[in-house]
Amino acid sequence: MDRAVKREAKSQSFDPSGVGKANGHFIGLPWEEDESEVVVMAIPWDVTVSYGAGTADGPGNVLRESLQLDLEDSFVADAWKKGLFVRPPDEALREKSRYWRSKSAPYLAHLENGGSREDFASTLGLINEACGQLQEDIYKDARSIFNQGQTPGLLGGDHSTPFGLIRASVERFPALGILQVDAHMDLRKAYEGFIWSHASIFHNVTSRLPVQRLVQVGIRDYCEEERQWAALHPDKIHVFRDRDMARDLMAGHSFIQICQSIIASLPEHVHVSFDIDGLDPGLCPGTGTPVPGGFQFQQAVFLLEQIIESGRRIVSFDLCETGGADPWDANVGARLLYKLANLAG
Instruction: Kindly list the domain boundaries of the chain, sorted by start residue.
Output: 3-16+25-343
- Dump the DSSP string for 125-149: HHHHHHHHHHHHHHHHHHHHHHHTT
Taking the chain, what is the end-to-end CA distance rounded to the nearest angstrom?
21
Contact by Cβ (8 Å): 81, 11: yes
Contact by Cβ (8 Å): 310, 219: no
Where are the alpha helices (H) located in the chain, listed in sequence order?
A: 3-11, 58-65, 91-112, 121-147, 163-172, 201-208, 224-232, 242-250, 255-264, 297-309, 327-343
Output DSSP code: residue 48: T
What pLDDT score does 49 carry?
87
The CATH homologous superfamily for domain 3-16+25-343 is: Ureohydrolase domain (3.40.800.10)
Task: For residue 344, give the nearest of 4, 7, 38 by alpha carbon.
Answer: 38
What is the amino acid identity at position 231?
Answer: A
Cα dihedral across residues 34, 269, 139, 287: positive or negative = negative
Each of the 345 residues of the chain gets a pLDDT tens digit; together they read: 699 999 999 999 999 998 888 899 999 999 999 999 999 999 999 999 877 778 999 999 999 999 999 999 999 999 999 999 999 999 999 999 999 999 999 988 888 899 988 888 899 999 999 999 999 999 999 999 999 999 999 999 999 999 999 999 999 999 999 999 999 999 999 999 999 999 999 999 999 999 999 999 999 999 999 999 999 999 999 999 999 999 999 999 999 999 999 999 999 999 999 999 999 999 999 998 999 999 999 999 999 999 999 999 999 999 999 988 889 999 999 999 999 999 999
What pLDDT score does 295 carry?
98
What pLDDT score does 53 carry?
79
Cis peptide bond upstream of 52, omega within 30: no
Task: For residue 314, give the nearest of 263, 275, 277, 279 by alpha carbon.
Answer: 263
Contact by Cβ (8 Å): 86, 26: yes
Distance CA 283, CA 333 (A): 9
Contact by Cβ (8 Å): 200, 190: yes
What pLDDT score does 47 carry?
94
